[in-house]
Structure 1
Amino acid sequence: MVLWGVSEPSTLPRLRPKKSLGQNFLVNEGAIRVIVEAALRTPAPRLLEIGPGPGVLTERLLDDGRPLWAVDLDSEACALLRERFVDRPHFHLLEGDAVRMGLPEGEPWSVVGNLPYNAATPILARLLTEDIPWERMALMFQLEVAQKLMGTPGTKAYGPLSILAQLCARLTRLVKLGPGSFRPAPKVDSAVVLFEPRADAPPLAERKALLALLHRSFAHRRKTLANNWQGVLPPEALAEAGLDPTLRAEGIEPRTWLAASRALASRLPERLAP
């Protein structure tokens, strides 16, 4: 799906975007509607917004009435959000880094966010590998990152994050956006990806070990698995785990990687363990 043209919100709160925080504020009204509708199309009892900035998405999410927690690292944005939503008792602000700060425990979330470009990958990795219950996620990424998430075996885009994400969720690209959909305009296109959890997703306890295996296997994309694991695991160990040591990592599909991770769990060196 692609949105043509840009219709900005009638009132856009003033907030100085900070390049150091990777901030590009969404101003495409059509995209705002798509993201909010996708995030709210779930019975999840709580909403979690990452990187609310001036609160363009926040305002519409709050209209739904569900409790909303917003996480932002920018103190200026947090001051603006406190002022804007002081009369909304179901609005809760968490000032800090979404990559590492603690989140309230409890019922499942619907997660939404125009993720800062410089932190999007570690934020997603955290959501996929930590005990953060979510029923749906609608997240904005740089287009190149979105393409990697949805990459297929044998393609340049396919990699560790593709495999983990596709094992954990069904992914749908909702919309592609050009630079003009943001203020300031970035130099790249962006895309919103919808994540819906898979019933057969690997347990949390297995996911970090899987990532460790994948990062080592993809360390040098042009090399075979045997070469990437040289001096750590012998080719016969890879073969016994269902991985052809003569192949490159990008040629192996996600379910094979999961089975191999389980088979190799006791053989991975401690320094590669999660």
Structure 2
Amino acid sequence: MSESAQLPRLRAKKRLGQNFLMNEGAIATIVNSALGSPAPRLLEIGPGPGVLTERLLTDGRPLWAVDLDPEACALLRQRFAAVAQFHLLEGDAVRMPFPEGGPWSVVGNLPYNAATPILARLLTEGIPWDRMVLMFQLEVAQKLMGEPGTKAYGPLSVLAQLCARLTRLVKLGPGSFRPAPKVESAVVQFEPRAEAPSLAERKALLTVLHRSFAHRRKTLANNWQGSLAAEALSSAGLAPALRAEVITPPVWLSATRHLLIQHPEVFPS
């Protein structure tokens, strides 16, 4: 077992989904991956007591840290007051404005109760990133990397795989954290695809996906009943008799692009 990091004293708050990483091997893996990006700036989400922050700052690049917990922010200000390249933003990473500039190397042991909406922001709001190295519950990581025809495959799989190349760097048990969560976790590395859909296409894609996956065991025709004719689905390359879970990401993107042009009425204005 890897050694455990010595954490500064900070009380983990269940309501904020805090579980502080202690596994030195995982910490090194995350930091090395994040710093392997040539991005000129670092963005850390959910730094907590600053275990990752401390190691990231040794690189010398400017680092912006975002945390919602006032107690954690007070500790971070105290720890890194003398570090010129450290910048702290106190607020909710789900909705607060991120700093302008970039591109970023984004890193974070994301709070479990906010990981998915934070990732959705990073994938759909035009925040420029060169690499992301993020911790998720194992179940979420499996969804991100889910393959067509499997239970894990869904809207999050399609969006993430069209936008990025995904690599699972490490899987962690509960003992790697303080306090120990009841679930396993995994770190996923994201690298942007040059052929990724535009921001407008990503938002339209989510509209199509959420409607198509509304009832997983139903066909596309049943999920879209009353709002889009079977002929329109067919013209977009989506056979109405299929279930959403068997359709590959490239086909979803091609179909969404077709619907944007031929059937814009299905998208909210």
- Shorter chain as denominator, the TM-score bin is over 0.9
Residue 8, structure 1, aligned to residue 4, structure 2: yes
Say whether 1:213 aligns with 2:208.
yes
1:259 aligns with 2:254: yes
How far is the alpha carbon of 1:206 from its aligned partner?
1.1
1:158 to 2:156 alignment: no
TM-score (structure 2 length as normaliser): 0.98
Instruction: Map 1:73-222 onto structure 2 (within 5 A).
Output: 73-222=68-217
Instruction: Report the CA distance between 1:156 and its aligned residue.
Output: 0.4
Aligned position for 1:27: 22
TM-score normalised by structure 1 residue count: 0.96
CA contact (8 A) 1:111 1:134 kept: yes
Q: In the alignment, is residue 55 of structure 1 matched against residue 56 of structure 2?
A: no
1:111-130 CA-to-partner distances (Å, cap 9, x unmatched) read 00000000000000000000
1:242 CA drift (Å) = 0.5
Cα RMSD of the aligned pairs, angstroms, is: 1.0
Partner residue of 1:247?
242
SS of 2:27's equivalent? helix
Q: Aligned equivalents of 1:16 and 1:68: distance in 2?
A: 24
4+ runs of 1 displaced by more than 6 Å?
none
Deviation at 1:6, TM superposition (A): 3.7
Please give the alpha-carbon distance, in whole angstroms, between the structure 2 residues aligned to 1:31 and 1:65.
Answer: 21
Q: Distance in 2 between matches of 1:136 and 1:227?
A: 39
Provide the C-alpha distance between the structure 2 equivalents of 1:133 and 1:273, rounded to a whole number of angstroms.
Answer: 26
Tell me the amino acid that sits aligned with residue 143 of structure 2.
K
- Cα displacement (A) at 1:208: 0.7
Amino acid at match of 1:246: A
Corresponding letter in the other structure for 2:3: S
State how far apart, in whole Å, the 2-side matches of 1:92 and 1:205 are: 31
Give aligned pairs, total.
268
Residue 107 of structure 1 deviates from its aligned partner by 2.3
- Aligned counterparts of 1:85 and 1:154: Cα–Cα separation in 2: 48
Counterparts of 1:60 and 1:273 in 2: how far apart (Å)?
44
Give the Cα–Cα distance (whole angstroms) in 1 for the partners of residues 174 and 43 of structure 2.
Answer: 25
Deviations 1:40-91 (A, max 9, x none): 0011000000000000000000000000000000000000000000000100
Does the Cα contact within 8 Å between 1:232 and 1:269 map onto a contact in 2? no
Structure 1: gaps spanning 5 or more residues: none
Structure 2: gaps (5+ residues): none
The 3-state SS of whatever aligns with 1:265 is: helix
Q: Deviations over 1:116-145 (max 9, x none)?
A: 000000000000000100000000000000
- Counterpart residue identity of residue 241, structure 2: T
Counterpart-to-counterpart distance in 2, 1:198 and 1:88:
34
Shift in Å, 1:268: 4.5
Identity %: 78
Shift of 1:104: 1.2
